[in-house]
Amino acid sequence: MRNLLLVACALCLSASVALAQGKVDSQWNCGKATDSHSIDVGDQIGHAYAIAQFTCTAVKGELEGVKEKEGTGTEFDDEKGNTAKLHGVFVETLSNGDKLHVSYQGKGTIEKGQLQSADDEWTITSGTGKFKGAKGKGTCKGKGNPDGSTTFDCTGDYTLTK
């Protein structure tokens, strides 16, 4: 009985520490890479390692009443033919100047050197200001646009410690 009471008290304490919870429902429009490099691996035709950096603008989304504004993604891709395994870090700036640091990994399809579609899983690893100690996870689905940009629809959950 004493152990049950300790567990119940611990649960009450942990619930009071991480109070703020919310949903992520964002859309991002990301332009072509502003800096990119690709190296042919040489083991098979169409196999390359690539690294790129790109900027994005939020079309919709807010966290704790603060609008999402812009972000910079830095990504590494392992490209084989028309597919790519990708992982990177997205540094998001919210309208109040706070930042979120988001790591992601996923896969994409490429046609004629342009991303056609992508799916990824993301994790909020840290933040600044109001979002210090933020944690979260979710997914994004991306669709390539004719101008070379990509639109991402992202959903998930986050928590903030108080």
The series of mean pLDDT values per 10 residues for the chain, 162 residues long, is 38 45 96 95 96 97 96 98 97 98 97 91 97 96 95 97 76
Phi, psi at 52, each rounded to 5°? -150, 155
Would you state the pLDDT for residue 159?
95
Name the pTM for this structure: 0.86
DSSP helix/strand/coil, 58? strand
Q: Tell me the domains of the chain and their CATH numbers.
A: 18-160 (2.40.350.10)
Contacts of 123 (CB under 8 A, 6+ apart): 102, 103, 104, 135, 136, 137
Mean residue pLDDT across the chain: 89
Residue 56 CA to residue 142 CA, distance in Å, equals 12
Residue found under tokens 């991002």: 28
